[in-house]
Amino acid sequence: MNSNNLHKKLDSWKKKHSSEISDIKESLFLIKRSPLTTIGLIIILLLVCVAIFAPIIAPYNPLEMHLDNRLSSPSKEHLLGTDELGRDILSRIIYGAGVALKIMLIVLAIDLPLGILLGLIAGYFGGWIDEIIMRMADIFMAFPRLVLAMAIGTALGPSLRNTMIAIALTMWPVYARLARGQTLSIKERTFIEAERALGSSNLKIIIFNILPLCFSTLIVRATLDMGNIIRIAAGMSFLGLGAQPPTPDWGLMISSGRNFLINQWWVPTFPGFAILLTVFAFNLLGDGIRDISDPHLRRGQG
């Protein structure tokens, strides 16, 4: 009896969301058809696994120093060699995946809500609120991103947490602008007028009618930015304004390995490959998702 009920519920849920389900199915189909996107997705999934299971995968403790085994070249014991404090580079890179992903997720977790909130308010209410928010966005976008992040990072003091705040502060205008643009076009549609005629409050309309429609555009944009966030964070760490030792951060590893470039090339080189591969994979995925979400391009693929 119980399972029958469940089936019924499931069926009705499927029916109710049939358009979404078919949309997701189609997207998955399109992702599968684009080999580059698939490669990007696979690399990212591997990266996430590596980050989660780092303690199991990593052959050594990333912080454990062996001063008698400094700067040893890649060998069977240390596949990618050891750094200036005798730490296993491979293990540090493996743990670094978690650091990079954490930075990216936290930056987006700050920026998406912040950008959406400001964009919705600006777009929905218009007038002077809109003017103020959008001019603020213009000002923040007038700085080259890395330079602003550096300035904020320096003002707050160098640390991983402040790097995330700094990068987040440089990126919110992108999301605010997008959310505003979406809101402007959605709020003119008839169903919003109908909602208003039915007596819905502004807050209710914003949350239940406009917000869900903004989401997909913003998610696509966020996917495109993921690689960029990781790259900027690595640059900040490289300059000494981000993660501090002994964090196994890729940018920091390159920065401290820089002195050994000529004679122990593996120390700064391998972490750089990790950054390149990760950013590359996110860019592949971002490109693929943008192509899929753009109906213009979607048709063009046929």
Partner 1 sequence: MLKYLMKRLLLFFIVIFGVVTVTFFLSHVIPADPVGAILGENAPQELIEKMERELGLDLPLGQQYSRYLKGIINWDFGISLRTQKMVAEDMRVYFPATLELAIFALIIAIIFGIPIGVISAVKRNQLPDSISRVFSLTGISMPAFWLSLLFILVLYYHLKLIPAGGRLSSGISPPQLVTGLYLIDSLIARDYIIFWDAFHHLIGPGLVLGWIQMAYICRVTRSSMLEVLNEEYIRTARVKGLKEKVVIYRHAFKNALIPVVTMIGISFGYLLEGSVLTETVFGYPGLGRYAVNSFLSLDLNAVIGSVTLIAIAYALSNLIVDLLYAALDPRIKY
Residues that bind partner 1 (CB under 8 A): 36, 135-136, 138-140, 142-147, 150-152, 154-156, 227, 231, 234-235, 238-241, 251, 254, 258, 261-262, 265, 268-269, 272, 275-276, 279-280, 282-284, 287, 300
Name which of 154 and 216 has its Cβ closer to partner 1. 154
Torsion-angle region of residue 201: left (phi > 0), alpha (psi -120 to 50) or beta? beta
Residue 117 beta carbon to partner 1: minimum distance, rounded to whole angstroms: 20
Residue 124 beta carbon to partner 1: minimum distance, rounded to whole angstroms: 23
Residue 264 beta carbon to partner 1: minimum distance, rounded to whole angstroms: 11
Name which of 81 and 187 has its Cβ closer to partner 1. 81
Residue 68 beta carbon to partner 1: minimum distance, rounded to whole angstroms: 27
88: phi then psi, degrees, rounded to nearest 5: -70, 120
Name which of 53 and 265 has its Cβ closer to partner 1. 265
Residue 46 beta carbon to partner 1: minimum distance, rounded to whole angstroms: 16
Name which of 57 and 239 has its Cβ closer to partner 1. 239
Residue 223 beta carbon to partner 1: minimum distance, rounded to whole angstroms: 14
Q: How far apart are CA 255 and CA 238, in angstroms?
A: 5
Residue 96 beta carbon to partner 1: minimum distance, rounded to whole angstroms: 13
What is the DSSP annotation of the chain? -HHHHHHHHHHHHHHHTHHHHHHHHHHHHHHHH-HHHHHHHHHHHHHHHHHHTHHHH-SS-TT---GGGTTPPS-SSSTT-B-TTS-BHHHHHHHHHHHHHHHHHHHHHHHHHHHHHHHHHHHHH-HHHHHHHHHHHHHHHTS-HHHHHHHHHHHH-SSHHHHHHHHHHHHHHHHHHHHHHHHHHHHTSHHHHHHHHTT--HHHHIIIIIHHHHHHHHHHHHHHHHHHHHHHHHHHHHTTSSS-TTS--HHHHHHHHGGGTTT-THHHHHHHHHHHHHHHHHHHHHHHHHHHH-HHHHHHT-
Q: Which two tokens stand for residue 153?
A: 């990072």
Name which of 42 and 207 has its Cβ closer to partner 1. 42
Name which of 153 and 209 has its Cβ closer to partner 1. 153
Instruction: Read off the amino acid at residue 90.
Output: L
Name which of 58 and 146 has its Cβ closer to partner 1. 146
Residue 106 beta carbon to partner 1: minimum distance, rounded to whole angstroms: 20
Name which of 84 and 195 has its Cβ closer to partner 1. 84
